[in-house]
Structure 1
């Protein structure tokens, strides 16, 4: 019988009603939720410094609505909401159960926290630089086997710290089917299923390039997977909910925040270039054919350290002479606070329709210098600057910012530990595979393709032209036939694109080279761009190295997580063969 694994959270701040919707909307066996983006660990560290919990408190809010029902129906709950304090989160869950008069067995997983440990110089995985400061947080990416051990020991609720997002599905799969470390294909299939549902509604039509095709997107249902013993799965959602599960929406999520087709994890390496998708029925997409390899012997560690203070002021420029106005605005500001007095300055001019935003960000170790001394200086220019001058931000103080620092350690140097009802499980409890998992890292993977009729040609399409061989082309936006999704991976950005037919993919693969991408997106010019082909999915994935600098928390760009990079590309014009439209 299939194992039905549902998701009720894609990030810390997702829809609070989602857990209840998934429990009440139809049959499920496991309820999972992902709370931990790379930035979240830094946010939780800040909370802890202010005396607040180091875990995601919204998990308890959701749990209060569904814990009793889950216990009655035998639904297991698995979440990484433990963040920096899985033991504290597990204790809060046990306290909640007691307050509700429920008898719940609560497990938690530790071993990911490497703060204070010798990290061997902590060389940056992307740049090769040594870590320049003491870590505020350092957490290894654990896999699914400790989760399986907790479930096999009888846990009703399993709380973890930093595990790979896919481990929330892989762990229950190991528990149900008893996969061993050598079952690479099945483990890889579960990793792909976990990657699809980890970001909640992004698999069911949320943030989808062809959003006009999605019915009732405002009431988008959260996803679930029906996971089979061989690692294949079907992605679906509860009946009666909004949104869409199609080959296209699943492809879009497969392309999110990935790198090469070899998607590395603690339990296996999933080959995204072997994934095959099939529309099995309305809101049902089958994932099959995933091949796996043995995991590497290294472990990814997410390090965060405090790097200083930052402050941003945003001015609005309207009408004529936008660039000249921007120069005048900058000159007026730097006349009051010298630009060279800051550790770092970032100025970004973002054109809008008839308007532009001028964002000036300063970073410095001295909070006072980056604080009101800067923001007040900007305000002081209000009556002595460009015509039409006004700001979107009031003068304010600087705020601390952190740097995300990915590094590697030997897998054998990390030992996951499993605790049930406050007592450590001393060995493999049986039925869920061997004990603590070797821990590695999630590197990257790749996508799939859409089905259905292609959209109508963009209304901005120009007159037809003919190439040298007589083929007629139409000047149209790439987004007429190309879908895209983009996101952050530390200091790098990924941009995945896909099309719906083999003919479209043949053209796209020839047209959209790494060099062409740099031409179409000037912000990527001069940066190292890797391109990976995924023909099974009619998709390409690009990794733009260094676009996001030191990661989201330290990145002063307006689009700090590169969420809109794909939509920027889709808006660019190209000469597309008419027959492909």
Structure 2
């Protein structure tokens, strides 16, 4: 146990993040732990598809990032924690050990196991666990496809146990993103699974830094105000013994850490004010932020409840194949040209493909100043259960150059898609957490069982609070663009899109509450045909919205161009609304 805060530096927010992140962290300010987050629902789907084609089930380049720095990591005593193990944390741990031996170092490598439950699905079914879909309530037996991957979301105490046993590098699979921070903090401060308030604070800090530059100005609606935005740095969480924290970044790097950049990430991909995590249930409506210095935002002590009695399970199954291309048409009469394209492609593909989606993106300018102002991209995508029918797609599109609408073209510098690629569908479900075999395996083969909380949360502790909507009159000021006064951040939770909207100025909070009532949001976002779940977080001056069903059954399989809803918040900010009176 240490009296000072532990400094945990993020070095990856997703599979595909900036590959120089470890280099940057090692050249930056001193830290105790490097934390790399490589997994998400869509990246798990991609790894599942890759593993099905005989490729490694772990993130190969994560090892490449580490190898050059292993001697310095050993010299400084830095710990490394990552979920890059994906579907094979034991395999990645073995590969890391080989590199450690080649470097002549004494670093110890452990892996966390128990998240992979694919082989146990039949056992769960026989025991009466239906694995109902969290969005539809249907049992998994009615899915109609054969799962190839099923991973439970584990907490951070496997990581904590590995570090306590002397591991220097801990490779995990599907632990929750925030657990990559909560685990090292629990080890550092000697917390137990019953220290729910401290854990809730660490989970909050972990949620803020899990997505890398999301906390330092990346994907931020106020991006014009961010210095060094060309290459925003990666964040650091300083987590204290009571779970309070300070979010900062390496001083030498670009970006910024402000109350607004931290708020943006706090509101990202949450279910509501109760943020359910296997380490603790976080009461996000108790979170208070304070700017305490340049690029330093304090998160005060956070209220927590015990973790839920269930664990979320991400199940993936192949559901067929898809192929897509981007075409372009130029004004005038874009609508007529798109309709002709639809008719011609249906004529050539209907009866062969399962789905054909043709989506024009944007509108042409009136009296355009350039050809590109007059041009509208059109995304065309087709799906089928087998790849063979989709081999008709490229010839069908290619046959239209002399027969289609006037000005038909594609980007002549981009390769044309001719081979279909697999589609993976996502099935989110719950299992009793007690069924999981959460464990750690050390480099000498020693197996450690992971401790659990003495009690789990009650339904009352897990229930999202109900918030009455503003009762006053509707805003009646001059019409403005919502984004003139409000920031937003959007993400995905399975088939749902979440959008957090907040105002920096306290004087605008009551206006925002009224402007974004449930009924007004329905009118502003006609695409949100499903139920809208609305919450408020007054300390953050934020309205949080869950747009149920907007993303179909999940980001890996829906056909939206904005597949995981990342721009829904900006779309909402572009809407015109009555401003404050």
Q: Same fold (TM over 0.5)?
A: yes
Structure-1 residue corresponding to 2:347: 335
Q: 1:261 to 1:84 in 2, by over 3 A?
A: same
Task: Map 1:118-517; keep pairs closer than 5 Å.
Answer: 118=121, 119=124, 120-131=129-140, 132=143, 133-338=145-350, 340-353=351-364, 354-369=374-389, 371-392=390-411, 394-427=416-449, 434=451, 473-517=477-521
Which secondary structure state, in structure 1, belongs to the residue aligned with residue 348 of structure 2? coil
State whether residues 161 and 448 of structure 2, in contact with CA within 8 Å, keep that contact through their aligned partners in structure 1: no
Q: Give a deviation string over 1:313-369, Cα, whole Å, max 9, x none.
A: 33212111111111111111112222x543233332222443323323222112111
Structure-2 residue corresponding to 1:62: 65
CA RMSD of aligned residues (A): 2.2
Q: In structure 2, what is the Cα distance between the partners aligned to 1:19 and 1:30?
A: 11
Q: In structure 2, what is the Cα distance between the partners aligned to 1:484 and 1:71?
A: 41
Q: How many residues align?
A: 547
Q: In structure 1, what is the Cα distance between the partners aligned to 2:249 and 2:229?
A: 13
State whether residues 3 and 227 of structure 1, in contact with CA within 8 Å, keep that contact through their aligned partners in structure 2: yes
State whether residues 8 and 222 of structure 1, in contact with CA within 8 Å, keep that contact through their aligned partners in structure 2: yes
Question: Does the alignment pair 1:27 with 2:30?
Answer: yes
Structure-1 residue corresponding to 2:49: 46
Which secondary structure state, in structure 2, belongs to the residue aligned with residue 574 of structure 1? strand
Q: TM-score, normalised by structure 2?
A: 0.90
State whether residues 270 and 292 of structure 1, in contact with CA within 8 Å, keep that contact through their aligned partners in structure 2: yes
Structure-2 residue corresponding to 1:99: 102
Give the gaps of 5 or more residues in structure 1.
Answer: 429-433, 447-467
* Deviates most, 66-75 or 345-354: 345-354
Q: 1:569 to 1:542 in 2, by over 3 A?
A: same
Q: In structure 2, what is the Cα distance between the partners aligned to 1:397 and 1:251?
A: 42
State whether residues 37 and 177 of structure 2, in contact with CA within 8 Å, keep that contact through their aligned partners in structure 1: yes
* Deviates most, 148-157 or 178-187: 178-187
State whether residues 261 and 444 of structure 1, in contact with CA within 8 Å, keep that contact through their aligned partners in structure 2: no
Q: In structure 2, what is the Cα distance between the partners aligned to 1:436 and 1:271?
A: 18
Q: Give a deviation string over 1:290-326, Cα, whole Å, max 9, x none.
A: 1000111111000000001112233212111111111
Q: TM-score, normalised by structure 1?
A: 0.90
State whether residues 49 and 424 of structure 2, in contact with CA within 8 Å, keep that contact through their aligned partners in structure 1: no
Structure-2 residue corresponding to 1:519: 523
Which secondary structure state, in structure 2, belongs to the residue aligned with residue 553 of structure 1? coil
Q: 1:363 to 1:412 in 2, by over 3 A?
A: same
Give the gaps of 5 or more residues in structure 2.
Answer: 365-373, 466-471
Q: Give the Å deviation of 1:426.
A: 4.0
Q: Give the Å deviation of 1:378.
A: 2.0
Q: 1:436 to 1:473 in 2, by over 3 A?
A: closer
Q: Give a deviation string over 1:191-234, Cα, whole Å, max 9, x none.
A: 00000000000100111101111001112110001100000000
Q: 1:348 to 1:101 in 2, by over 3 A?
A: same
Q: 1:495 to 1:292 in 2, by over 3 A?
A: same
Q: Give the Å deviation of 1:235.
A: 0.1
